[in-house]
Chain A
């Protein structure tokens, strides 16, 4: 069982409207420790960390942002993002957003990923003497300028020559690749194709090729002969996906514009069939963003014919799979491409011979241009203020605005507390009810090493250290359900649910103190800094406690330890037994689910502090959160409340 390091996840209020509108206590001072009413209230509202929905609202502190205007936590799920810049993660060049529309979301320089292993590809020169196997290839004559460069993977040693791809120049590989089909053949753009069609020499060649009807030996084999078709049948071109789409689009546009050509088609289906202009324009608007929707076409009735030849985007389905079967027999399963590899293959530069550019064999995979990455700024979903804004330049790592939750709300660090075991722990071990920790001592032993398994039915203690990041002293009120929700319920006791943390002092203060500490030694710096001397253990001065073991002193309502801007408190938990034997409980007969042995306790944290009144912030305090607002000397009371989940460890099975 993997060791579990304790963690703290914080719930973003965006997921739950009930916590957003949670009424705050009118008089926080009355909220004394171990208040039964408070407990009952909490129980009703307990947040279940195991609920399926919780997965989507819990975040580590680092992932959370904070809106200064709403005074609320914002998570990656609720902020709205705006792209500041696009760049290639390999060459780190910024791509202007105007280029994105024309060239797509991939790098158009020389940045490619290996189609086999996604490692980076480098341009290497193929030796002057090419691979003998490639020389033997029948299509060698078709590419007289056999490219002296290839893309090679530095990790798995894949090379683009495996797909028959070689490049004439070492630069501008992307442009070369778009014109190159597997095996070194040229791939024509739609325009080139149209122009070529007008060329009488090409027509003559087509006719000749059709007469010879030998596909493999063809000089310019862009047009692969369809097997099984006689030489007399009209030559069918194989189109790549983009060209086919372009041809179909123009064909249907023409059809929409001219609805009188009702010479063929599935007329019987009327308005529902593909031949109906209405459905056609609807389908086309789906794929082309609505720009093609012709209002006039709606009123017109009349069937339309389907595409008939390659010019109009007609492609016969390739049903002859004998080549694929033969290749499968030759190369076996290892020669096929995996789903992950296919998913990486971009469609638009794919081999046109395959539907949607998807190759069935690893040898047909093409280099993958790097997907672009973005720098994004983030906005508060409620007030639309920007809460995170990086500098747009790719190479800089600075932020113009960066309001992270970590600088507003206290961080919670968890550390297991090893208590010296008191003799006669058998009573607590045998009884299922936890011993109420009293001011005398706690008879328990916690796991000494972090990540150790928790013993069932035996009280364990954890030190929670709250560190205050803001420059005001804050008051923290904690609420935890006495029993954790779920099938296996742990008993939880927060020994000190209410305390005050001193303000975070200036960075320079800290730096100076460190300087003193390093020069003068520990004792001297302690004397110079009276705050450090306030560090208490179990309510007594540090000096008097140094001789005896202070850890046996667990007092209710007392903080455990205190520092400049942090306070440690102790939480006692009694993990349940994870026995799945039916013991009268409803669904306890089920086997243990994954991670059900992890002890997670929900904890409600309320932070209260007084802050300088900002001029424009007066009206913007959320009603549920900053409820008690008192005007006086420009200071106002602020309050922030949220659920968090403490993952303490795994329970021994």
Chain B
């Protein structure tokens, strides 16, 4: 990033359409996989340096090359200002290891939210000031309301609406509410030359 370009945009836009704010903190970028068209707003922090050190037995047996991906994010995800993604860690066979954090497509992460889940599916809306505990598994089409604390190891099935401390099921996503998880339009509204939100 040369400083000669006079009015630098707020975002770095990659070939695959990712929009990464210059003021975002991405630690260990080589271990962070972005699927494309993902927005990372300023002050977002992603801990790619916390990689897995103990390999899964299946992988070790197969002799596969160690996969160092710490955080993988799908397409059309939106990481709001100040949120933090970090891989979950736990003791494993006498040592401590981190496990990768996998996020699907069309996942919205609200402002100041901390995510330490194992897996987040696709079409998930996580509100602001939410804490997703370590090794939580969130399936597709889940809405987590603002201020929710998802306890570690919790599994949230598809079409759930959860809230509270600790999180509890408070409703189901209605059939007609499925399209609202789509983040294509939101993607266009941010960046260096944002488009207004369509009607």
Contact = CB atoms under 8 A, between A and B. Distances in A.
A566 B153 CA distance: 45
Given A397-B140, A563-B199, A119 B154 contact: yes
Contacts of B147: none
A63 interface: yes
Given A62-B180, A397-B141, A404 B175 contact: yes
A63 B151 contact: no
Interface in A371-414: 373, 378, 388, 394-395, 397, 399, 402, 404-406, 413
Contacts of B168: 118
Contact of A92 (B133, B152, B155, B195): B155
Interface in B134-172: 139-141, 149, 151-160, 166, 168-169
B176 interface: yes
A31 B96 CA distance: 75
B177 interface: yes
B7 interface: no
Nearest to A117: B166
B179 interface: yes
A388 B175 contact: yes
- Point out which of A154, A395, A563 has the most chain B C-beta atoms below 10 A from its C-beta: A154
Interface in B176-199: 176-180, 195, 199
A155 B166 contact: yes
B94 interface: no
Interface in B79-129: none
A91 interface: yes
B174 interface: yes
A568 to B, nearest CB: 8
B47 to A, nearest CB: 21
A404 B176 CA distance: 5
A485 interface: no
Nearest to B155: A90
A120 B175 contact: no
Given A118-B166, A155-B151, A155-B166, A62 B157 contact: no
Nearest to A399: B175
Interface in A110-131: 117-120, 122
Interface in A195-228: none
A378 B174 CA distance: 12
Contacts of B158: 397
A388 B139 CA distance: 21
A120 B141 CA distance: 21
Given A154-B151, A397-B140, A62 B176 contact: yes
A467 B198 CA distance: 11
Given A65-B176, A119-B166, A154 B199 contact: no
Contacts of B156: 89
A76 B154 CA distance: 28
A405 B178 CA distance: 12
Given A373-B157, A406-B179, A413-B199, A62 B151 contact: no
Contact of A397 (B159, B177, B199): B159
A465 interface: yes
Nearest to A370: B155
Contacts of A517: 195
B199 A76 contact: no
Interface string A481-494: 00000000000000
A411 to B, nearest CB: 10
A349 to B, nearest CB: 20
Interface string A18-62: 000000000000000000000000000000000000000000011
Contacts of A167: none
Interface in A89-103: 89-92
Contacts of B157: 87, 89, 92, 373, 394
A399 B151 CA distance: 30
A64 interface: yes
B199 A566 contact: yes
Contacts of A118: 166, 168
Contacts of A89: 155-157, 160, 169
A62 B174 contact: yes
Given A89-B157, A89-B169, A465-B199, A154 B176 contact: no
A126 B152 CA distance: 19
Given A92-B155, A120-B155, A397-B141, A406 B169 contact: no
B176 A64 contact: yes
B16 to A, nearest CB: 15
Nearest to A61: B176
Given A62-B174, A63-B174, A87-B157, A120 B199 contact: no
Contacts of B174: 62-63, 76, 404
B123 to A, nearest CB: 8
Given A406-B176, A563-B199, A154 B155 contact: no
B159 to A, nearest CB: 7
Contacts of B155: 89-92, 120
B175 A402 contact: yes
- Point out which of A76, A406, A413 has the most chain B C-beta atoms below 10 A from its C-beta: A406
A153 B168 CA distance: 14
Contacts of A373: 157
Contacts of B152: 154-155
Nearest to A565: B199
Interface string B61-94: 0000000000000000000000000000000000
Nearest to A561: B199
Contacts of A65: 175-176
- Point out which of B154, B155, B160, B174 has the most chain A C-beta atoms below 10 A from its C-beta: B174
A120 B151 contact: yes
Nearest to B134: A154
A63 B159 CA distance: 13
8 contacts: A63-B176, A89-B160, A120-B153, A154-B133, A156-B166, A378-B175, A467-B199, A517-B195
Interface of B: 133, 139-141, 149, 151-160, 166, 168-169, 174-180, 195, 199
Given A397-B140, A404-B174, 8 more contacts: A61-B176, A63-B174, A65-B176, A118-B166, A156-B166, A397-B158, A402-B175, A405-B176
A-B residue pairs, 5 tightest by C-beta:
A155-B151, A404-B176, A62-B176, A62-B177, A154-B152
